[in-house]
Each structure stands twice: as C-alpha cells, then as structure tokens.
Structure 1
Amino acid sequence: MIVDRAELVAEAIRSGTLAGLPGGHFIDGRFVESVSGRRMESFDPGRGKAFATVAAGDGADIDRAVAAARAALSGPWSRLSPAARGEILMRASRLIAERAARFAVVETLDSGKRLAEAEGDVGGVVKAFAYYAGAADKLHGDSMPLGPDHVGLTIEEPVGVAAQVVPWNYPLSTAARGIAPALAAGCTLVVKPAEQTPFTTLMLAELLDEAGLPAGVLNVVAGTGTDAGAALVAHPGIDHITFTGSVATGQRVMRAAAEHVTRLVLELGGKSPLVVLADCDLDAAVAGIMEAIFENAGQICSAGSRLIVEEAIAAPLLERLVASAQALRPGHGLGDAGIGPINSPAQLARVAGHVDRARAAGNRILTGGAIVPPEECGGGWFYQPTIVLADGPDDPLVQEEIFGPVLTVQVIPDFEAAIAAANATSYALVAGIYTRDHARAWRYARAVDAGQVYINEFFAGGIAMPFGGNRKSGFGRAKGMAGLRSYCKLKSVVARI
C-alpha cells in the first residue's frame, strides 16, 4: 500500500480514487457487508463525482454492532488495566503518524477540504490518541474525610457502550476526539460516521484493531442518518450518546435518548462572534478573521462567522478583508487551492439560499455572493468567499447558521455594544476578540456566553482544552480531561471501620 504523500496525491488525481479503501462496516473486529446487501456512493466534492462505494447500514447492522460492543464490554477488554489501554492508544497514535499521508488524502477526497487542512486534522488526531493514552491511568476518584469511623471514596467507572454520531465536516478528528477518550475510560463503542464521509473512520477502526484493540470494542456502521443513525441513538443497548450536528437533528436525538434515559453530549450549531476593537493589531486580526471563516470553506460549527467590528476601524479592516477574500482561488483540495468546495449539492444550495435571501432583503454584499460555475472549478461544488453587511441584530444573517464561506459583518460604536452584540443570538459555542487591551479582553471573556473564548487568535488550544457549547450550541464537553469524564459514571463507596 502506498504511503508516500506525492505518490498518493498523484494516484488520486490520476484515477479519481485510491486503491484499498474499506468497503464494509467494521463490526466485531472485521469488515462485513450490510445485512440488506445495500451499498451507497461517496462523492468527491472537488469533482462532484462518486469515487467509491461503501456498505449502507440500517437497524439490523446497528443491532449486530451493539451486540458486539456489549459482549466486548464484559470480555477481555474489561480486565485490561488502564495502563494497558493506554499502551494500545499509544500504538494507535504511532500508526496514525506513520500513515498520516494516506489518511489526509482520503479525508480530502471524501470531505473536499484542502490537503493542508486535512493534514492538520490528522496531526491533531495523532496528538489526541497520545493525550488520552497518557490520561488512561490517571483517571481516579477522590477520598472523603468522613471521620474516624468511616472511609469514603469515589470510583470513575466506564459508562458502558457509547454511541458516537460523527459529522461530515471533520470526520476523522471528530471521531477521534470521541473514540480515544471512550477507550481510555474503558468503554466500548458503536460509531456512525456521516454518510458523506465514512472512509477515514473505517480506516481508523481497522488501525486500532492492528494496534491491539480486542474485537468488538470499536464498531463502525456506515449509513444514512435516517436508516442507521436513528436506529443507533434509539437503541436500548446504548448507555451514552455523543452527537455532533445540527440543532434540529440534535433535538431529535434528545427525544430518542429520553426514551431510555440515555446519557447525552451534544455539540450543535454556532454563530460565533469575533470582536475586533480599534486598538487591535490589524495584521493579526485580518489573518485571524480569514482563517476563522474561510478554513474548510466555512463549514465549521465554531467558525468565526460573525465579525463585530468597532466603527473607528471598520473601513480599513473591511477593505483588507475584501481584498484577501477576492484573492482566494477555489479549487480541488489536492491542488494548490485557496479555498475548497462545499461538501454536497444540498449544502451548496443552503448556503446560496441564505445569501440570495439577504440580497433580496437589501443587504450589501461586499464581495462574493454566488455559486462558482462548475466549468470554472473542475465540476465540483464551490461557493465564492463572501462578506455581507448585516442590517441589525435581528437580521437572519446574524441569527442563522449558514455553514459556508459567508462572513456577516456588524459595525458597533464601542466595547459595551460589542458585548451586547456578541450575546444577541441563541447560540453560544465560541467567541473571539482582537485587542491590545488585555483588561477589556478578559472582561469580554467573562461577559460573553460561550463554551470557548479566544483572545488574539482563533481556533487555539488543541486537545487539552475542553470544547463544547451552551444554549442551542449544546451541552457537555469533548477534549481535555472533561471529555474523558464524559465517558465515566461516578460511584461513591462508604465503608464503616
């Protein structure tokens, strides 16, 4: 199997695919076809063409996977020490690093993102497995001083069989930030990747098997949300659900979880404010804003999609942003593109619909605002990098998540107005600020409702920092030790001496 980056890219460009992609579900330690025998196509968004097929699962396949996970929960896996679990995770980290090029090229073919972005994701996955490998034997309870006649202590136990529903925008990294801590805690898993992007999660399951994970501990079922995802989150054999996706789907997952009182972590949408004050480092702010909204073509729940800029510097800042956006050239992720495609025709239509409605309502579009014709970008699904002025805090551009390369701009008079604007939506996932005044930066961090706040840099922190939202952005946390404890249940034990 080819592992050289240049050879992999050349093969993918020449043939439109890669040899050796997994084609079935990974259940009980091996690849299997669907019970129904059905398969589905997976599309390369940069070309707008199918490049591979994979098994299409449904409730019958979910039943098989959950049965395998429940059996493994009480098998040899349950008798491994935390340190031994950590050793498996560390071997997996090393194997991912060795095969990083293949994971990145497959991620680019499947999701559409630029190869450099995919390589960054794979690097983060290597770090995630190493982090939780080190954390596996450091998860401990506490002792309580109950007096001379009693001993009290708490024990962190694995929650059981964990289900994970993975989105299409960050398939490998989102899967890893759930799989790694769940395994470190001693859980078993059933993972349902997005139907648009199944391959790197299936590859990861095969790699963990090679790293020494017992059969049945990690199971991956490909399929649509309707056929496989709904069956998974409603399954009575599931003890915990981690879901990443839209608010509407998250609400359906909550209803399904309520039927069996299943524990739940939800990471949902965002309309994250990025405040830029007049005293900022303008160069750093422009660079940060561009990354915050145009990385992965804006298809990021935590994207800095809402620029809140102080009036004193609005004109020069917007002039530079418009020029930078216009310089981005769309293209296939395996080429030297400035911005990649939208993941699917349906998502492309949603992005275009938001901007078309804004244009019809009289909003001023500073740049972009249209679908890139397929003949200009190799047949793929692309939208122009777009910057639009909002009419006010109630503007749909301010209130609604677009999930594409569209930056909404709000001009405000001062710092207090910036805080009010930042908190004026129903989302509370991420917030950022650029200012040289650290007192105001920390006041903002305290005042804004968000799960994460970035000061003078966006997307900062890495695997050690907990990630998640408030209000309609969800609840619970991934990453960090908080993410590890998401897969634990706390038991208190009291003994009389």
Structure 2
Amino acid sequence: MTNHKFLEGISLDPYVDGKRLSVSGATHPTFDPATGEVICDVPVSDSSIVNKAVDSSRKALKGAWAKVTPAERSRMLIRIAQEIRLDAERLANVESLDSGKPLREAKGDIETSARYFEYYGGIADKLQGDTIPLGPDFVSFTMHEPIGATAHIIPWNFPLVTTARGLAPALAAGATAVIKPAEQTPLTALMLPYYLERAGVPAGVVNVICGPGSTTGAPLTAHTGISHVTFTGSVATGKAVMLAAASHVSSVTMELGGKSPVVVLADADQDAALEGVLKAIFTNAGQVCSAGSRLVIERSCAEPFLAALVARIKTFTFGRGLDNPDIGPIITHPQLLKIENIVNESIAAGADLIAGGKIAKPEGLGGWFFEPTVLVASDPSTKCVQEEIFGPVLTVQIADNFDHACELADGTEFGLVAGIYTKDVSKALRFSKYISAGQVFINQFFAGGVETPFGGTKNSGFGREKGLEALRAYYSVKTVTARI
C-alpha cells in the first residue's frame, strides 16, 4: 500500500465482479520514474483471478448488462465522463506521478479520457442494422450484437486515455471488458471502477486486473472466454498476443507503434513546422507510439531549420512530471539503457550527433532521464532510422526534393502516422496518397482527436480505434432472412 496523498482511500486490489478482491501473494512495484523510488506495491493477479474476471464479464454479458437498454448505456457512459471530470485534478496528478509525464500533458489525457466516454455515449443508442432488398418474397435485415467479453491490454505511456479509448466503444456496443493496465503504470486504471460504480455500471461489466504480461496478460489473451483482444504495445508482444488469440479464434485490434516521419518542405511556414516537430518528438519525452521521430527535410531549408531546432532544445528543462518540465523522465531504467544503446550504435554506424546523446542526471533527482537528442543519418538502414526508440531522440534525414522526401518518409516497416508541412496543397495530398500510414497530418502534427479513426499499416498493426470505426471491433453482425 501507499501513503501518497493522491492515493488516499484508493484500493490497489483487483476489481472483479463489482468488488475488490483481497489478494495475498506476489506484488509488483510501480515507480516514480523521476526519482526511481517505489510509489506503492500492487497485488499481482494470477491465472485464477484472470479466470474469475473473465467469468464475471461473461456472466454480466448475458445477465445484468443484457437488460440495460441502449439509451441507458448512453446515459451511463456520459455519467462516467462526468465522474472523471469531477476528479480530474487528482487523476492528472496520479497519472503524472506514475508515468512521469508533465502535469499539463496528464491533464490533457484525463480530459481526453472523459471525452471518449462522452463521445461513445452519444452513439450507444444509435447502433442499428440495415434492411436488405431481396425481392417481394423475402424480408432480410441485420442486427448488431455485442461481440462478447473483451480483453484490453493497456500500454504504460497513456494509461487512462488508452483504457478509455477501447473501453468506451466496447461498452457502447454492449460488450463487457477485462482491463489489464501495464504493470509500470496501473494506478489510474485501478481508480476507474470508482467512477464506473457511481455511473451505475453493473457488477461484472468491467473488471480490472494487474500484473506482468507473463503472469496476467498471457492467461487473459489465451482465455477461451475472450472474444476480442485490443492490444497496444510492441511488435514482438503483439505477435504473441495474436498467436494466443488465434488459439481460440478471437479477433484482435493491434496497435504496435511506429517510426513516423514529419516532412518539412522548403515552402512551409518554417516557424510553424519547428513548433510541430518539437511537439511531435518531445511530447512525453518521445514515449509516444505516434511520435514524429523522423524529420525528413528538404536540403535547401535544412541548415537554418536544424540550427533553430538545436537552439530550442538547449533551453529545455528536466524534472518531475508534477513540476511541469519540458522533458520528463523515461519510464524505466531498462528503457533508458535501450535508448542509450540505439543512439550509441547509430553514431558508431555513421550518424552525426548534433544535440544531446547522453543520459541526463538532473540535480536532486535519482530517476531516469535522457537528453533531447538529434541525429542526422544519411544511411536509411541506420538503427535510429529503422527502429522505434521510444525516447526523446529525433532522427533527421535530408531530402533532395519532394519526391525524395516521399521515398525517405515511406522507408521503414512501420506505418502508423505521417506528417507534412507545406503550403502546396497538391504536394500535401500527393504525399497523403503515397505514404503507407493510418493517419496523415497536414501542417499540424497530432491533428485530429477522439473522433478521427486511428491505427496502423505494416508493422504498426491493424484495426482502427477512435471515431465510429472503433465500434466495429465490439459488435458482430447477424443477418436474419425470412420467406414471406
């Protein structure tokens, strides 16, 4: 347990069938990554608790939840949004403490989490089928039915917002859910049941269990009672999740990260492009799946742009997320070492280091920080070009012209998002058609919102979250045809 003021009165036990389960046995620490100190120890849910959680969700699917009308589901989702907003200040502080991200970013995440429930609350009573014209002797129509009990494997970088992103459409469609937050950042997911209960969500509809992937995630994704798995994480783990889901023919939504390009052409508004590039890579210290981690820039404007970029980076501050620094900590020490290794290997392979490049040690903090780093790589096969680093490291590729920029931008096995800065609408749209990516941003990175479908191509995964497209994962279509 913890004595931290933001967690007073919050149970860290798994939430199953509408109540907290008192668990004895293994626990897992969650750390403040800015200090390296343990915030609290969270009980680990083993396979027996996983079984109870899935059984509870399956029972609710045919029981209390099935009796809730779509209109009442809509009202429940909107009430969840209201409850989250009422406790937004505490949630943001917990999120910042647990993940290390700057408090201003955590506040935005909490509002976005509420918005997901609000958005899907507006569609829950409007999911309807079609009639199919087969001629005068038949009546044929389709019905939308909840897909079943769903599993949600949540990443550590956006804990509550990613939970809401999958849970809200699942509930809107009438499905039930078992949530497994990342063991590094479980706290806001463990707080979520309080808001669900106050919103009137029946017991068993949402269960929250915690623990490492091997202990908790693996038996959850392999459970025969799970009908759909929504996963956000690494390519390697995603492949393992798909194999587990395939064993019982469960559908999956896979969001597996990226190596996303930001193209800056010579005709672009250079000041706006600079702000966009900084935001794209240094939000949450680069620990964002859709981070603009590659700058592809036309040669004719590269030198002054990079000079301005490096000058801005040199002004950045480090610190605890709660103190709103420019750059917060890296989530774990192993992740910090991974970043350092890729940077060093890329430099050894010929990349030019023009800013940062080292582990940072801010005064008074014992946590895990890395300097905002810029590498210029001429060889597209360099690690910093091809591998997802998940840290504050920007790789620069110099393009001779627009066509070369497009070629470089599309030159990895990832395809999550891509951005372009240009005043030429024709070039922007040509780029949008050329690039293999799930989302393309024009003259603003991270454009869009809750309403815009999100997902990847190639090694970035498949399936779509956000927007109305996300609902398709959580209902099945039944066709009824009658001769009359």
Q: Is this contact kept in 2: 1:451–1:470, CA < 8 A?
A: yes
Aligned-pair distance for 1:391? 2.4
Ranges in structure 1 where 5+ consecutive residues have no aligned partner = 1-11
Paired AA for residue 392 in structure 2: P
The residue that corresponds to 1:258 in the other structure is 246
Q: CA RMSD in A?
A: 1.3
Aligned-pair distance for 1:33? 2.8
The residue that corresponds to 2:473 in the other structure is 486
Paired AA for residue 428 in structure 1: G
- Residue in structure 2 matching 1:433, options 395, 417, 420: 420
Partner SS state of residue 136, structure 1: coil
Paired AA for residue 297 in structure 1: A
1:73-123, Cα deviation, whole Å (9 max, x unpaired): 111211211111011001111111111001100001111100000000011
The residue that corresponds to 1:468 in the other structure is 455
The residue that corresponds to 1:7 in the other structure is none
The residue that corresponds to 1:381 in the other structure is 368
- Residue in structure 2 matching 1:244, options 213, 223, 232: 232
The residue that corresponds to 1:232 in the other structure is 220
Q: Normalization by structure 2: what TM-score?
A: 0.98
1:285-325, Cα deviation, whole Å (9 max, x unpaired): 00000000000000011000011000010001101111111
User: Partners in 1 of 2:237 and 2:13 — Cα distance?
Assistant: 25
User: Partners in 2 of 1:495 and 1:193 — Cα distance?
Assistant: 45
Partner SS state of residue 137, structure 1: coil
User: Partners in 2 of 1:15 and 1:59 — Cα distance?
Assistant: 30
1:117-128 equivalences under 5 Å are 117-128=105-116
User: Partners in 1 of 2:21 and 2:330 — Cα distance?
Assistant: 31
Q: Is this contact kept in 2: 1:331–1:377, CA < 8 A?
A: no
1:161-194, Cα deviation, whole Å (9 max, x unpaired): 0000000000110000011110010011111100
The residue that corresponds to 1:193 in the other structure is 181
1:442-491, Cα deviation, whole Å (9 max, x unpaired): 11111110000000001111111010001110000111111112101111
The residue that corresponds to 2:435 in the other structure is 448
- Residue in structure 2 matching 1:30, options 19, 28, 42: 19
Partner SS state of residue 374, structure 2: strand
User: Partners in 1 of 2:417 and 2:234 — Cα distance?
Assistant: 16
Q: Does 1:371 align with 2:371?
A: no
Identity %: 51
User: Partners in 2 of 1:421 and 1:310 — Cα distance?
Assistant: 11
Q: Is this contact kept in 2: 1:17–1:109, CA < 8 A?
A: no
User: Partners in 1 of 2:99 and 2:195 — Cα distance?
Assistant: 20
1:297-446 equivalences under 5 Å are 297-373=285-361, 376=363, 378-446=365-433
Q: Is this contact kept in 1: 2:298–2:401, CA < 8 A?
A: yes
Aligned-pair distance for 1:336? 3.5
The residue that corresponds to 2:155 in the other structure is 167
Partner SS state of residue 323, structure 2: coil
1:237-269, Cα deviation, whole Å (9 max, x unpaired): 101000000000001011111111111110002
User: Partners in 2 of 1:87 and 1:303 — Cα distance?
Assistant: 35
Q: Is this contact kept in 1: 2:4–2:39, CA < 8 A?
A: no
Q: Does 1:141 align with 2:129?
A: yes
Aligned-pair distance for 1:15? 5.6
Q: Does 1:213 align with 2:168?
A: no
Ranges in structure 2 where 5+ consecutive residues have no aligned partner = none
1:81-96 equivalences under 5 Å are 81-96=69-84
User: Partners in 1 of 2:241 and 2:12 — Cα distance?
Assistant: 27
The residue that corresponds to 2:144 in the other structure is 156
Aligned-pair distance for 1:22? 2.5
Paired AA for residue 429 in structure 1: L
User: Partners in 2 of 1:210 and 1:402 — Cα distance?
Assistant: 40
Partner SS state of residue 262, structure 2: strand
Q: Is this contact kept in 1: 2:266–2:301, CA < 8 A?
A: yes
1:188-208, Cα deviation, whole Å (9 max, x unpaired): 111110000111011112211
Partner SS state of residue 54, structure 1: strand
Aligned-pair distance for 1:147? 1.1
Aligned-pair distance for 1:54? 1.4
Q: Is this contact kept in 2: 1:17–1:51, CA < 8 A?
A: no
The residue that corresponds to 2:284 in the other structure is 296
- Residue in structure 1 matching 2:42, options 54, 60, 81: 54
Partner SS state of residue 154, structure 1: strand
Aligned-pair distance for 1:37? 2.6
Paired AA for residue 190 in structure 1: V
Paired AA for residue 365 in structure 1: L
Q: Does 1:105 align with 2:102?
A: no
Paired AA for residue 31 in structure 1: R
Q: Is this contact kept in 2: 1:166–1:193, CA < 8 A?
A: yes
Q: Is this contact kept in 2: 1:16–1:51, CA < 8 A?
A: no
User: Partners in 2 of 1:94 and 1:159 — Cα distance?
Assistant: 27
1:320-339, Cα deviation, whole Å (9 max, x unpaired): 11111111111001113111
Aligned-pair distance for 1:19? 2.1
